[in-house]
């Protein structure tokens, strides 16, 4: 099948992209590489098409497919999308991404190389021709280029050679690609997806969530679009979720199970109804979590997989007409959510823990108490001790807890004395992490990074206050704060013994503040229980607490590197990783290690090896992660190479 024919088929609706396909993930280097191969007549592989009835074909994009039989592109999406984008000068209807990737591809008539437009280099050089303009206009495009070249006398005798090269460039669209077709009424979506995964054995496979969505889209064609719109709405208020996460909540509402396989026998009407119910209960849960716990953005939303459990509970109450939740019930649910996050309940096998918690919700009348019983038995106690705040770095599991305490309590800003539990307007009032004892001063005292970045050395202040304090020592600026805003220091759990404000007593300061933090947190948790403190009578003993292997993220700069890397992964249509990831012993709930950035289910979820990115970590962390089954990367470039070559099959 000629490339030109394939492009025409896409235009007239005879060929489309199946709904279950992931998005476009190539970069500009790959675009250039493909056109270089096509120009040189190098083989670029065959295509795999699924010929099916158009009325049954769940396809990407809003353009209607033609009546009769439509051919869905199973293998070859990146190549065909690239050729279409350049040849037509625009992205195809089914494209999801930044269409600028196809714009301004140029071809040099002398060197016979491809490159994207560079004004300084190409603007006044007629030998760099616009590939899209040429291909859109065909023979008339060739004539227009030759007329332009004739304006330059120095080209002279090269004109004939250039004409041949332009014709060869146009000839790309006449290249024949072998296309194999899958046909037959017996080819269900299950069989097609299985074939897809086999064909893409070296590339991005479809997860169980993708398969569930493919089945949903086969009956509810707008499902992906509508769900993505809702995800975008959450992103606008700083909560970043993905389709798998939303599907998990839909699944719990509809089936009471975590595993996606239970969605497979549900029809479109049932799924649509469950989506709307899940969306409503997710918003309610986020309002509770933000308004009562103060966890108002994605970075501090620990335990996000606890939300599908909350959604199920809220839906059960509504379906059984149990009435509006009382303040006591709401706070007990939030107590469970906060404790599950602090315990790292969903850091391991997500599905198995969600399923156990969903079972605990039966019957709903006893659900909250049973949820807490399961959590306490698994973790060994729900009372917080000072040693729980012994972690370090902004990636520590109790970092969001410190933020939660700041937002829940009466913590005050040290610059203006205002409570930090309200939404402060203006970018200078955005909360930032503040090192109470400045890093620069501690490093001068030869303190190592774990001690410098101890969690007990953190507090949250407005950006304006943080800048004004700069790198001054507490013994200098604390008295000024206390004089201007009495009680502001104590509101942030600062020990008021002045000797502890001296840098030589830094370690003693940390110990004292950890005790204050633990006591304050237990009081906040008790408030959520409204006097029913039986859940706080036992603690997860310090002796039982595992030794933390690795301290995770060492600085804000390193955290930003990891966040940028995570965003890059998402831009490749792959799942978002966890920053940080707490490795939990599933049997007893013990925390064994913290990894900087990890995909515990693999980059191809449920189909590939777990992956961890560990920056600036010691050999003990790397060794532990490797022995625990993770593929470990200690450099960002090597991790990206792995993604491109082994996950996306771009090598």
User: In the chain, how many H helices and how many E strands?
Assistant: 25, 14
- For residue range 178-215, list pLDDT tens digits in order: 988 888 777 766 677 667 666 654 555 556 777 778 77
From the number of C-beta atoms within 10 Å of its C-beta (0-12, 13-18, 19+), residue 36 rates as middle
Q: Does residue 412 contact residue 425 with C-beta atoms inside 8 Å? A: no
Q: Which of 326, 74, 43, 318 is nearest to 187 (CA)?
A: 74
Q: Is the pLDDT of residue 303 over 90?
A: no
Q: How big is the CA angle at 502 (ends 498 and 505), to the nearest 5 degrees?
A: 100
Per-residue pLDDT, 188: 67
Cα–Cα distance measured from residue 110 to residue 484, given in angstroms and rounded to the nearest whole number:
73
In the chain, pLDDT over 90 holds for what percent of residues?
45
Whether residue 492 is predicted with pLDDT greater than 80 in this model: the reply is: yes
Q: What is the mean pLDDT of the chain?
A: 85
**When comparing pLDDT for 393 and 507, which is higher?**
507
Lowest mean pLDDT among 170-184, 206-220, 373-387, 417-431: 417-431
Band of pLDDT at residue 48, cut at 50, 70 and 90: confident
Choose between 279 and 76: higher pLDDT.
279
| pLDDT for res 545 | 43
Q: Is the pLDDT of residue 427 over 50?
A: no
d(CA 474, CA 478): 5
Mean pLDDT in residue range 557-568: 86
Closest CA relative to residue 537, chosen from 372, 294, 390, 300? 372
pLDDT at res. 40: 94
Give pTM, 2 decimals: 0.72
* Nearest Cα residue to 49 out of 195, 194, 173: 195
Contact 619, 575 (CB under 8 A): no
Quick one: average pLDDT of 23-35?
87
Whether residue 555 is predicted with pLDDT greater than 80 in this model: the reply is: no
User: Which region among 162-176, 245-259, 339-353 has the lowest average model confidence (pLDDT)?
Assistant: 339-353
Which residue reads 């603007």 in tokens?
A: 123
Residue 329: what pLDDT? 95
Coil, strand or helix at 610: coil
pLDDT category of residue 540 using cuts at 50, 70 and 90: very low
Dihedrals φ, ψ of 4, to 5°? Answer: -60, -35
Q: Could you report the per-residue pLDDT of 577-636, keeping only the tens digit for each?
A: 887 787 776 655 566 778 888 888 788 765 667 899 998 887 888 888 888 888 999 999
Nearest by Cα to 215 from 17, 20, 15: 20
Q: How confident is residue 334, by pLDDT bands cut at 50, 70 and 90? A: very high
With H, G, I as helix, E, B as strand and everything else as coil, classify residue 524.
helix
Could you tell me which of 391, 387, 371 has the C-alpha nearest to residue 379? 371
Cβ 432 vs Cβ 559: under 8 Å: no
Report how far residue 275's alpha carbon sits from residue 638's, in angstroms, rounded to the nearest whole number.
39
The average pLDDT across 556-570 equals: 85
> Given a cut of 90, is residue 651 above it in pLDDT?
no
Domain spans in the chain, listed from the N-terminal domain onward: 3-179, 204-379, 386-536, 556-647
Cα separation, 651 vs 646, whole angstroms = 8
- Please tell me which of 44-58, 102-116, 429-443 the model is most confident about, judged by mean pLDDT: 102-116
Using alpha carbons, select from 531, 522, 576 the residue that is nearest to residue 342.
522
The residue with tokens 């993770």 is 630
- Conformational region of residue 286, where left means phi above 0, alpha means psi within -120 to 50, and beta covers everything else: alpha
In contact, 50 and 189? CB cutoff 8 Å: no
Q: Inform me whether the pLDDT recorded for 4 exceeds 70.
A: yes
Question: Which pLDDT does position 426 carry in this prediction?
Answer: 44
The pLDDT value given to residue 434: 93
Distance CA 193, CA 129 (A): 41
Ranges 138-142, 226-230, 311-315, 434-438: which has the least confidence: 138-142
- pLDDT score of 549 more than 70: no
């Amino acid at each position: 099948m000629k490339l030109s024919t394939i492009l025409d088929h896409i235009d007239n609706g005879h060929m489309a992209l199946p709904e279950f396909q992931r998005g476009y993930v190539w970069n500009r280097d790959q675009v250039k590489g493909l056109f270089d191969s096509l120009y040189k007549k190098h083989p670029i592989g065959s295509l795999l098409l699924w010929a099916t009835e158009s009325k049954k074909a769940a396809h990407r994009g809003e353009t209607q497919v033609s009546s009769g039989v439509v051919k869905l592109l199973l293998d070859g999406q990146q190549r065909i999308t690239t050729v279409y984008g350049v040849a037509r000068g625009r992205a195809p209807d089914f494209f999801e991404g930044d269409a600028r990737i196809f714009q301004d591809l140029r071809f040099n008539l002398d060197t016979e190389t491809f490159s994207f437009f560079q004004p300084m280099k190409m603007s006044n050089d007629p030998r760099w021709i616009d590939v899209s303009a040429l291909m859109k206009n065909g023979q008339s495009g060739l004539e227009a280029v030759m007329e332009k070249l004739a304006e330059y006398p120095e080209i002279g005798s090269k004109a004939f050679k250039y004409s041949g090269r332009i014709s060869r460039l146009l000839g790309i669209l006449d290249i024949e690609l072998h296309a194999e077709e899958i046909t037959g009424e017996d080819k269900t979506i299950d069989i097609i997806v299985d074939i897809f995964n086999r064909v893409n054995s070296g590339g991005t496979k479809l997860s169980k969530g993708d398969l569930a969505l493919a089945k949903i889209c086969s009956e509810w064609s707008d499902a992906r679009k509508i769900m993505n719109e809702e995800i975008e709405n959450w992103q606008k208020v700083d909560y970043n979720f993905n389709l798998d996460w939303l599907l998990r909540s839909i699944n719990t509402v509809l089936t009471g199970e975590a595993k996606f396989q239970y969605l497979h026998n549900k029809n479109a009407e049932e799924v649509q109804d469950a989506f709307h119910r899940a969306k409503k209960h997710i918003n309610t849960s986020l309002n509770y979590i933000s308004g009562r716990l103060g966890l108002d953005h994605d970075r501090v939303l620990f335990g996000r997989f606890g939300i599908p459990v909350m959604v199920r509970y809220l839906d059960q109450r509504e379906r059984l007409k149990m009435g509006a939740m009382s303040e006591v019930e709401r706070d007990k649910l939030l107590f469970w959510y906060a404790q599950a996050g602090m315990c790292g309940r969903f850091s391991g096998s997500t599905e198995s823990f969600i399923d156990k918690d969903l079972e605990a919700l039966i019957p709903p009348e006893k659900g909250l108490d049973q949820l807490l019983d399961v959590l306490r038995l698994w973790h060994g106690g729900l009372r917080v001790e000072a040693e729980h705040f012994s972690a370090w770095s902004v990636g520590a599991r109790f970092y969001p807890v410190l933020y939660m305490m700041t937002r829940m309590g009466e913590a005050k800003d040290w610059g203006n004395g205002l409570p930090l539990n309200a939404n402060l307007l203006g970018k200078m009032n955005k909360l930032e992490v503040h090192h109470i004892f400045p890093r620069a001063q501690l490093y001068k005292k030869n303190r190592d990074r774990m001690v410098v970045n101890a969690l007990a050395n953190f507090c949250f202040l407005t950006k304006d206050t943080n800048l004004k304090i700069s790198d001054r020592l507490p013994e200098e600026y604390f008295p000024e704060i206390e004089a201007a805003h009495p009680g502001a220091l104590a509101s942030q759990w600062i020990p008021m013994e002045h000797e502890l404000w001296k840098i030589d007593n830094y370690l003693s300061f940390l110990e004292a503040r950890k005790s204050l933090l633990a006591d304050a947190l237990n009081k906040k948790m008790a408030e959520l229980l409204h006097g029913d403190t039986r859940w706080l009578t036992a603690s997860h003993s310090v002796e039982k607490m595992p030794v933390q292997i690795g301290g995770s993220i060492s600085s804000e700069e390193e955290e930003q590197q990891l966040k940028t890397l995570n965003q890059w992964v998402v831009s490749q249509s792959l799942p978002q990783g966890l920053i940080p990831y707490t490795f939990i012993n599933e049997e007893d709930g013990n925390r064994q290690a913290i990894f900087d950035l990890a995909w515990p289910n693999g980059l191809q979820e449920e189909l590939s090896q777990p992956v961890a990115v560990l920056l600036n970590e010691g050999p003990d962390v790397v060794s532990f992660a490797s022995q625990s089954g993770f593929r470990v990367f200690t450099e960002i470039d090597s991790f990206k190479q792995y993604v491109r070559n082994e996950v996306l099959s771009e090598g």
